[in-house]
Amino acid sequence: MLKYSTTLLVLGLLLACNSESIKESKNTECAKNKHCNYSGGYSIALENENITPETQFHIVFSAPKNIKIQQAKLEGINMYMGSIPLFFEYKEGAWRATTMVGACAEPIMQWRLTLDFLDQTKSVNNDKAQNTLLYYFTSKY
């Protein structure tokens, strides 16, 4: 039985360590609602730093055109508000998403943007490297 369990454990570890599981996470100490630069030449900014709940705003992600955004979402930090999916389009030399956040009982709500993408220009072991950027901002009403 021990031999069977050990074999399953080793097999599981080997499968988990394939090239597709390589993920590079980039997080910086940027001020909330301000333009944020990340290593690798990426940046995220709000077109307007004053975010009001239930009002549309734009998020700008500067990166090469030949990246592939896999997933982008907003999540409340100080209060659970669900997950808001973001859909970026490449326009005027940058990736842009239009979104809005909901109002809640907190007058100042903290949000986290998680952006997962593949940079097709950079590779690790001849495979595309997955990147994750985290960006934080607040909304006030």
Q: Which domain holds residue 73?
A: 22-140
Q: What is the pLDDT of residue 64?
A: 80
Q: Tell me the CATH number at 77.
A: 2.20.130.20
The pTM (predicted TM-score) of the whole model is: 0.76
Q: Which two tokens stand for residue 125?
A: 């072991």
> How far apart, in whole angstroms, are the C-alpha atoms of residue 95 and residue 90?
4
Q: What is the DSSP string of 55-69?
A: S-EEEEEE--TTEEE
Q: Which two tokens stand for residue 96?
A: 């842009």
The total domain count for the chain is 1
Q: Which of 48, 50, 7, 43 is nearest to 26 (CA)?
A: 43
> How far apart, in whole angstroms, are the C-alpha atoms of residue 85 and residue 87?
7
* Digit-coded pLDDT (tens) for 34-73: 999 999 889 999 999 999 999 999 999 999 878 999 999 9
Classify residue 34: in a domain, yes or no: yes
* Digit-coded pLDDT (tens) for 91-133: 888 999 999 999 988 899 999 999 999 988 766 555 567 899 9
